[in-house]
């Protein structure tokens, strides 16, 4: 059991002495997971509004599909993105494989269904009078939709947080499409997997602690930042 205790002490030292590698990995993780969550929200929330308010054939099937995609295995996403971005793939010429951008793409695919599905659930729970009231007061359709999203903002923020939680600690896709390249495309989760495998418990535990702290900080700051309007 000594090595566990030793690992914790080492982790404390790595964090408090601002070990450059630890902070580089943390910074990259924050960038890719926040970037992916942001993109997933930008695409997912309007999509959820369309799927809630729109009337078109097959709408319920699309919603069922989105709900299913919430459970998409990360390695399958990694594999698909890899196939598209690899040299022989249709997007191979973009040279994105084993870059942070590739990680963002994979994580975007993982986070979007979660943001969409949970936002739909939130929007369906909104009092129908919100939309009607906005419309009768003269709001445009998009203005009314914006008001509906604002009325349910706590639930929508929860959907965004769930999307973030899905990607911040994600290993499968990030490992496959990011390549876990030291100092370039290594995230907290992929680094933990690697360091554990190498027996570098102190480093792995330090990264694990930071990962948990990161999630905590993100949750707290988003809660505080929820618009009051």
Partner 1 sequence: MPFVLQDVDVKFGDRNVLAIESLAIRPGSITVVMGPNGAGKTTLLKVLAGLTNPAHGSLAYGGAQITPENVALLRHKVCLLHQTPLLFDTTVFENVAFGLKARRVPKADILQAVMQALAVVGCLDLMKRRARELSGGELKRVAIARALALNPEVLLLDEPLANVDQMTTKALEEVFGEIEKGGGTLIFSTHDPRLAHRLAHEIVVLTDGRLSPSPYENLFAGRPLTEGETSWFDTGRVRIAVPPALSNTGHISIGSDEILLSREPLQSSARNVFQGRLTRIEERTKGVLDVAVVAGESFTVRLTHQSLQELGLTVGDPVYITFKSTSVKPL
Residues that bind partner 1 (CB under 8 A): 127, 129-130, 132-140, 143, 147, 150-151, 228-229
As measured in angstroms, the least distance from the Cβ of 141 to partner 1 is 8
As measured in angstroms, the least distance from the Cβ of 221 to partner 1 is 22
Q: Nearest to residue 9, comparing CAs of 190, 185, 182, 201?
A: 201
Nearer residue to partner 1 within complex by CB, 64 or 140: 140
As measured in angstroms, the least distance from the Cβ of 129 to partner 1 is 4
For 128, residues 6+ apart whose C-beta sits below 8 A from its C-beta are none
DSSP state letter for 28: H
As measured in angstroms, the least distance from the Cβ of 123 to partner 1 is 15
As measured in angstroms, the least distance from the Cβ of 121 to partner 1 is 18
Q: Which helix (H) or strand (E) holds 2?
A: helix 2-16
The distance from CA 8 to its chain's CA centroid, rounded to whole angstroms, is 28
Nearer residue to partner 1 within complex by CB, 147 or 166: 147
For the chain, state the CA radius of gyration: 20
Nearer residue to partner 1 within complex by CB, 20 or 54: 54
Question: What is the dihedral angle through the alpha carbons of 95, 26, 206, 108, rounded to the nearest 10 degrees?
Answer: -60
How would DSSP label each residue in 61-115? HHHHHHHHHTT--HHHHHHHHHHHHSTTSTTGGG--TTSHHHHHHHHHHHHHHHH
Nearer residue to partner 1 within complex by CB, 151 or 170: 151
Nearer residue to partner 1 within complex by CB, 68 or 142: 142
Task: Give the C-alpha separation, 219 to 62, whole Å.
Answer: 30
């Amino acid at each position: 059991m000594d090595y566990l205790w030793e690992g914790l002490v080492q982790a404390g030292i790595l964090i408090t002495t601002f070990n450059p590698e630890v902070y580089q990995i943390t910074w990259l993780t924050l960038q890719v997971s926040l970037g992916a969550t942001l993109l997933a929200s930008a695409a997912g929330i309007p999509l959820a509004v369309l799927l809630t308010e729109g009337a078109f054939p097959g709408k319920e099937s699309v919603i069922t599909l989105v709900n299913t995609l919430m459970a998409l295995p990360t390695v399958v996403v990694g594999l698909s993105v890899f196939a598209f971005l690899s040299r022989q793939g249709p997007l191979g010429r973009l040279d994105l494989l084993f870059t942070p951008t590739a990680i963002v793409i994979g994580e975007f695919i993982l986070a979007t269904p979660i943001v969409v599905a949970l936002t739909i659930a939130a929007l369906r729970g909104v009092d129908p009078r919100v939309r009607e009231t906005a419309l009768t007061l003269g709001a445009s359709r998009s203005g009314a939709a914006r008001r509906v999203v604002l009325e349910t903002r706590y639930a929508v923020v929860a959907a965004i947080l769930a999307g973030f939680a899905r990607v911040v600690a994600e290993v499968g896709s990030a490992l496959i499409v990011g390549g876990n390249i030291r100092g370039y495309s290594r995230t907290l989760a992929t680094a933990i997997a690697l360091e554990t495998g190498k027996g570098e418990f102190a480093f792995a535990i330090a990264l694990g602690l930071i990962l948990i702290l990161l999630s905590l900080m993100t949750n707290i700051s988003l809660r505080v930042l929820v618009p009051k309007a």
